Amino acid sequence: MHLIDRITTLYREEFGHTPAHIARAPGRVNLLGEHVDYNDGFVLPAAIDRATYIAFSPTNASHCTLRAVDFNQQARFSPLTIPSKTQLDLSPLPEWALYPAGVMWSLMEERVPVPSMIAAFASDVPRGSGLSSSASVEMAFMIAWQTLGGWILASMKRALLGQKAENKYVGVNCGIMDQFASACGVENRLLLLDCRSLEWKTVPLPDSVSIVIADTTVRRKLTTGEYNKRRSACEEAVRLLQQDLPNIRSLRDVAVDDFNCLAKGLPGEIEKRARHVVEEIRRSHQAQAPLEAGDVQNFGKLMNECHASLRDLYEVSCPELNTMVSIAQSLDGCYGARLTGAGFGGCTVNLVAKEQADGFARALAKGYESETGLRPEIYITRASNGAELIR
């Protein structure tokens, strides 16, 4: 049964009536532009065809009642309990409820009407795999409150308010890409976002290719510390390069040629980190032309270069990710493969000829398992629309 039917049935069983509305909001995957968001660069994500679905109705009650089907739990909160992050009975909100409550909080701060609702929601975006299940929950609730509140905000504005909810209410320090892709996704298109100006456009992804996501199932613990070290290295590179290039504000402002001239003046590790960023920003910029021309081959090459750079220069890969990528790159029908997300485990993203995607997924799973002893999760997906009201 599709999740839309399942969520409708579960809502009816729980609340005794048919939901007034259904909304969906997808997860996302980034195809190019990794570790450049905090350097004012360009990212190239797509919304995927896995999503959070929410069945909801308005209510006269002064509080919201939410059922998280995937956790088999319920939470009740109101504008009065929002500041203390508690439920009506004053017990702390369960972790999953911080996301919808955070959306309510950021909308209240925005001073738009946030009426009470009854809702049940469920998702087929895997949680904690780097496909942004959290942003998909936030954006699904954004659509629900937009529907009941009778206001309309631009999709980028909804994304920014979702990011604010996650940063300031849930307490997770994420960039804008996740909520942006979930809010603004377009079927069969990649989204090119300028992380400095927040201007964005779409570029086509041919119908003949599938996006295949492969989860190594490995999660490294040191991620936050290593992530912060990479950010500091980039800031240090900017500080040092400013001696010769006083007008730069971030690595985004450094052209590859200028960088090549100045690189020998940088300490070895700083040089490697900054080189990845400067070249990756160029790659994500360069990607537009082949995509516009339907040239998946050349776009795939940029993905492969990105992986090598994340592995050798930015040093955020790990043996399992490298194994997954090497096997993928050797298989028929694969245009490009690389680690996606922060690194140190998590998923790879692969661009694969659609008619070969099933065989590719089987061979990749088999090869990875025989080399690592780990059984991967593989998702064949495609670029889909962003958050929307279904009915």
Stretch that binds ligand ADP, among 92-100, 254-262, 332-340, 366-374 (CB under 6 A): 92-100
- Please tell me whether residue 134 binds ligand ADP under the rule CB under 6 A: yes
Tokens of 288: 């537009």
Query: How is the beta sheet containing 377-381 ordered, strand by strand?
Result: 334-339, 345-353, 209-219, 377-381
Size of interface with ligand ADP, in residues (CB under 6 A): 18
Count residues binding Mg ion (CB under 5 A): 2
Among 127, 157, 366, 375, binds ligand ADP (CB under 6 A): 127
CA–CA separation, 387 vs 160, rounded Å?
A: 14
- From candidates 39, 81, 87, 134, binder to Mg ion by CB under 5 A: 134
> Minimal distance in Å, beta carbon 231 to Mg ion?
18
User: How do strand 209-219 and strand 345-353 relate by DSSP bridges?
Assistant: antiparallel
Per CB under 6 A, the list member of 11, 53, 99, 360 interacting with ligand ADP is 99
- State which residue, 2 or 221, has the beta carbon closest to Mg ion: 221
Task: Examine residue 132 and tell whether it contacts ligand ADP (CB under 6 A).
Answer: yes
Q: CA–CA separation, 52 vs 384, rounded Å?
A: 13
CB of 137 vs ligand ADP, minimal distance in Å: 5
Instruction: Determine, following the binding rule CB under 6 A, whether residue 373 of this chain makes contact with ligand ADP.
Output: no
User: Which of 22, 68, 119, 383 forms a contact with ligand ADP (CB under 6 A)?
Assistant: 68
163 binds Mg ion (CB under 5 A): no
The span from the CA of 306 to the CA of 321, in Å, is 13
Q: Which residues form the catalytic set?
A: 178
CA distance 56 to 65: 10
3-state DSSP call for residue 314?
A: coil
No. of helices (H) and no. of strands (E), the chain: 12, 13
The pair of structure tokens assigned to 106 is 């950021």
Q: How far is CA 338 from the centre of its chain?
A: 15
Binding window for Mg ion (CB under 5 A); candidates: 13-21, 41-49, 126-134, 335-343: 126-134
Which residue, 40, 38, 31, is CA-closest to 290? Answer: 31
185 near 28, Cβ under 8 Å? yes
The amino acid at 338? R
Q: Which CB sits closer to Mg ion, 62 or 224?
A: 224
75-83, 125-133, 306-314, 335-343 -> range binding Mg ion (CB under 5 A): 125-133
Alpha carbon 140 to its chain centroid, in Å, reads 14
User: Does 219 contact ligand ADP by CB under 6 A?
Assistant: no
Among ligand ADP, Mg ion, none, the one that 70 touches (CB under a kind-dependent 5 to 8 A) is: ligand ADP
Query: Is residue 137 at the binding interface for ligand ADP, with CB under 6 A as the rule?
Result: yes
Please answer whether residues 60 and 47 qualify as being in contact, where contact means their C-beta atoms are separated by less than 8 angstroms.
Answer: no
Q: Using the rule CB under 5 A, is 340 a contact of Mg ion?
A: no
Q: Which is nearer to Mg ion, 226 or 358 (CB)?
A: 226
Least distance to Mg ion from the beta carbon of 133, Å?
6
Give, in order, the Cα–Cα distances in Å from 115 to each of 57, 111, 141, 151, 341: 10, 12, 12, 11, 35
Among 19, 26, 102, 130, binds ligand ADP (CB under 6 A): 130
Interface residues toward Mg ion, by CB under 5 A = 132, 134
Interface residues toward ligand ADP, by CB under 6 A = 52, 68, 70-71, 95-96, 99, 122-123, 127-134, 137
